[in-house]
Amino acid sequence: MTVVLTLLLRRVRSIGKIIRDREGTKSVVMALFALLFGVVMLGEYVMFRHALVEVLRIGPASDGLTLYILESFLILVLIIAVISYVVTGLWTFYRSSDTAFLLSSPLRLSHLFWLRTAETFFVICWAFVLLAVPAFLALGVTYGRHAIFYVRAVVILILFMTLAGGLGALLTMLAGAAFKRYEIRTSILVTTLILVGGLAFLIGRHIVPATGDFYLIFQPGIPNGKPGSLKFIEKRFWLWPSHPLAVSLFTGVTGPRTGLTAPLVSTFLLPLGALVLAGVVGRRLFAATIPVVAERFGVASRATGRPIARDASFPRFLRGPIGAVAERDLLSIVRSPHELGSAAFILFLLALYTAILFVAPLSEVLEKPEAVARLFSLDLMAIGYFLTAFGLRFVFPALSLEGRGAWILFASPLSIFSLFLGRLLGYSALLVLMVGPIAAAGAWRLATFPALLGLFGLLLGLLILTTVTVSLGAGVIWPNFREPNAETLATNTGGLATIILSLAYVATVSWLGHRAASAFFRGETLLPELGGAAVLSAVIVAVAIAAARRRIKALEIL
């Protein structure tokens, strides 16, 4: 195992080198990213704390609601972590650039398995820190727990991460073995679809609360001042592997409960079991699969070069040089399961959020105009967040990802500024088609007044156009043709600028949306707020386009 540790240390050092090699602004960028990470965690902490305080105020039913929230939250984090693990892991385990070298070295396959397990785990473990730590902290503070609870919470977090890592590795190996004769992009796509589809079904069945669930939580002991029963919640969640951990965390804040011993024992047994299972079954599956995959995608496969589309012309759907590049952009997403999986994942989260809007018991809340105005604003903010995530992941890196192939476009007669404008229109249209219907459905759930829906449509249009322009502009102003990884590109100065500018803009438009919705309910005109949003968007779009144009004139390809 010393070899595995040495190789892992080399990876860490190489990441450090990448950070060190960045020019002047690197430390500022890193500090700002840490600050942004901290702000997100703080925001999450405030949100959890606020929600838990409200739950505590309910009185007898608060225990039941707290457990319900914990169960749902841990399941969501587990699902996000496991899907991320499998999508990342299929590539890391089977297609890492150094696989051929390591396979030709005396490194044992079992050591290679543990190396890839650890590498994948480190790539996805941010989710636990970003999501779980603020939630656990808010839980302890709200219930006024002492230091011992936080020690317990850290142990639970480690066990939770072990559970997710073990399950992720096992599922990755199962998927790898099942699809070993297929191209890795097909494997990732099919596995992601199966996991997302299956888990969305389970989330719909088990996590999203129905109105009836609230009656079960709040009745029947509450009128007598007795705490509500937890049996219904336990019955609903006991099959989820995160259940023992949720119960353990719950008893950490509410004190021991009779009948909860078995889940507490499982708190340790399940994560260890997942790890052992991954180590025994997963390792063997890997040993049986990697030689097949390595041979299929190694040098031997080049001779065959299976035809994809014989004699097919190109572009098939769009016209002109910019249309051809746009079609190539789309093809590069469609033909890459990693890219497609990332896009599908963002859309899945957006659809999940919208589905929650539909199943959440909002009937009474939606009768209060101020509550509708607030939800309207929060909905805009949520959609803006998804747009920012999409912009950062797909639009911002568009130019940089030309990478070593940038010579093709830059040496051609194509105007790069025209390409910039074409991409601006293309990505905006794509987002209108992809996000528009889902966002419109969510808005319709909150308010059916035509004027409010019209306002939402206009603000959504402005959000799409502006976030796309900001992302695209930052990508042109801070290009990096040497980095082929879109996720890594998003961590440079331009990525940071995209996040800060887009989120600040989204927050401002959401605030204007709240003011406009309130004005609507008071029977006043919406024009000042709408005009404000339009002027703000126009200024940002104009400045971003002008800055990008100026940068393009001086752009050189290394």
Partner 1 sequence: MAVQDLSLEIAPKEIYGLIGPNGAGKTTAVKMITGLYRPTRGRILIDGIDLGAQPAVAKRLLGYMPDEPFIYERMTGREFLHLVGELYGVQASERTRRIDELLDLYTLRGVVDGYVENYSRGNRQKLAILASLLHTPRLLIVDEPIVGLDPESAIKTRDLLKAFAEQGGGALICTHTLPFAEQVCHRVGLLKDGRLIGEGDLPTLRHRAGLPDASLEALYLHFTSAHVR
Is the Cβ–Cβ distance between 116 and 93 less than 8 Å?
A: yes
Binding mask 414-433 for partner 1 (x = CB under 8 A): xx------------------
Sole binder of partner 1 in the list 115, 270, 325, 499 (CB under 8 A): 325
CB of 124 to partner 1, least distance (A): 25
CB closer to partner 1 out of 25 and 415: 415
CB of 419 to partner 1, least distance (A): 10
Structure tokens, 43 = 């925001």
Q: Count H helices, E strands: the chain? A: 24, 0
CB of 543 to partner 1, least distance (A): 24
CB closer to partner 1 out of 213 and 327: 327
Sole binder of partner 1 in the list 219, 412, 448, 485 (CB under 8 A): 412
C-alpha–C-alpha distance, residues 390 and 396, integer Å: 9
User: One-letter amino acid identity for 96?
Assistant: S
CB closer to partner 1 out of 106 and 305: 305
CB closer to partner 1 out of 34 and 408: 408
CB of 343 to partner 1, least distance (A): 15
Sole binder of partner 1 in the list 225, 307, 450, 523 (CB under 8 A): 307
CB of 324 to partner 1, least distance (A): 4
CB of 18 to partner 1, least distance (A): 21
CB of 420 to partner 1, least distance (A): 15
CB of 397 to partner 1, least distance (A): 15
Q: Does 328 bind partner 1 (CB under 8 A)?
A: yes
Between CA 512 and CA 518, with CA 517 as vertex, the angle to 5 degrees is: 95
**Which residues from 334-373 bind partner 1, rule CB under 8 A?**
335-336
Q: How far apart are the first and last CA of the chain?
A: 41
CB of 550 to partner 1, least distance (A): 14
In Å, how far are 89, 220, 247 from 213, measured between CA atoms? 37, 12, 19
CB of 316 to partner 1, least distance (A): 9
**Which residues from 499-558 bind partner 1, rule CB under 8 A?**
554, 556-557
**Which residues from 392-411 bind partner 1, rule CB under 8 A?**
403-405, 407-411
Can you tell me which residue has the tokens 């009836």? Answer: 212
Q: Which one of 6-14, 270-278, 321-329, 421-429 is the stretch in contact with partner 1 (CB under 8 A)?
A: 321-329
Q: Does 96 bind partner 1 (CB under 8 A)?
A: no
CB closer to partner 1 out of 1 and 308: 308
Q: Which one of 64-72, 247-255, 315-323, 447-455 is the stretch in contact with partner 1 (CB under 8 A)?
A: 315-323
CB closer to partner 1 out of 411 and 433: 411
Q: Which one of 69-77, 268-276, 319-327, 368-376 is the stretch in contact with partner 1 (CB under 8 A)?
A: 319-327
**Which residues from 267-306 bind partner 1, rule CB under 8 A?**
301-302, 304-306
CB of 184 to partner 1, least distance (A): 11
| Dihedral sign computed on CA atoms, order 345, 349, 350, 352 | positive
Structure tokens, 48 = 């959890």
CB closer to partner 1 out of 433 and 554: 554
Pick from 536, 532, 325: nearest CA to 427 = 325
CB of 20 to partner 1, least distance (A): 25
DSSP 112-127: HHHHHHHHHHHHHTHH
Sole binder of partner 1 in the list 37, 101, 201, 314 (CB under 8 A): 314
Is the Cβ–Cβ distance between 120 and 169 less than 8 Å?
A: yes
Structure tokens, 29 = 């960028």
CB of 311 to partner 1, least distance (A): 7
CB closer to partner 1 out of 215 and 314: 314
In Å, how far are 88, 292, 360 from 117, measured between CA atoms? 11, 19, 38
Structure tokens, 268 = 């340790």
C-alpha–C-alpha distance, residues 449 and 447, integer Å: 6
Q: Does 310 bind partner 1 (CB under 8 A)?
A: yes
Q: Does 331 bind partner 1 (CB under 8 A)?
A: yes
460 CB-near residues (< 8 Å, 6+ apart): 380, 383, 435, 436, 439, 440, 443
DSSP 208-248: SPPHHHHHHHHTTTGGGTPPPPSHHHHHHHTTSTTHHHHHH
Q: Does 211 bind partner 1 (CB under 8 A)?
A: no
Helix (H, G, I), strand (E, B) or coil at 434: helix
Widest distance between CA atoms in the chain: 80
Binding-site size, partner 1 (CB under 8 A): 38
Between CA 157 and CA 168, with CA 163 as vertex, the angle to 5 degrees is: 125
Can you tell me which residue has the tokens 């902490």? Answer: 45
CB closer to partner 1 out of 136 and 481: 481
Rounded to the nearest angstrom, the gap between the alpha carbon of residue 7 and the centroid of all alpha carbons in its chain is 28
Sole binder of partner 1 in the list 313, 363, 367, 522 (CB under 8 A): 313
CB-based burial, 111-124: b 16+ in 10 Å, e otherwise = bbbbbbbbbbbeeb
Structure tokens, 270 = 């399940």
What residues make contact with partner 1 under the rule CB under 8 A? 301-302, 304-315, 320-321, 324-325, 328, 331-332, 335-336, 403-405, 407-415, 554, 556-557
